[in-house]
Amino acid sequence: MKYLLVMNINPDVLAALTEEEQQAIGAGHQKFMETTKATGEFHSTVALAEPAKSVVVKVRDGMPAVTDGPFVEAKEFLGGYYLIEAATPERMHELAAMIPDAGIEGLGVEVRPVVFSDGL
């Protein structure tokens, strides 16, 4: 089964980390990708720009409008995700625990089963 491992970013949490801790996050993600590629569980990953570089497109009465945003009340925002295939939910939990964000207070990794996909 495929799972989306969602990493929500809190810039305040990341800013409080030392340079060494921040570098360890990058190294940990690299190790996670190497491990899941070697086991055949890796499918893809995406890192996203911060919301300040985003826009929102809405169509009202047939006319598209582009605005700044999104403006959310939460401190966290979607920073990226991994799409992984694992044999069991337990294995997916093991993999999610390998992502450095899971071990940082104030962050975590959301695990969501994929119920439909096309073109994967």
Per-residue pLDDT tens, the chain, 120 aa: give them. 999 999 999 999 999 999 999 999 999 999 999 999 999 999 999 999 888 888 889 899 999 988 876 665 667 888 999 999 999 999 999 999 999 999 999 999 999 999 998 887
The pLDDT score that the predictor gives to residue 73 is 62
Exposure string over 60-99, b if 16+ CB within 10 A, otherwise e? eeeeeeeeeeeeeeeebbbbbbbbbbbeeeebbeebbebb
Q: How far is CA 76 from CA 31, 64, 72, in A?
A: 24, 28, 9
| pLDDT for residue 71 | 62
> What is the DSSP-derived secondary structure letter of residue 8?
E
**From residue 60, how far is each of 57, 63, 66, 104, 116 by CA, in Å?**
10, 5, 11, 41, 28
Reply yes or no on domain 2-47+78-113 having CATH 2.130.10.10: no
87 to 12, 18, 23, 50: CA distances (angstroms): 35, 36, 31, 33
pLDDT of residue 75: 75
Output the pTM of the full model: 0.86
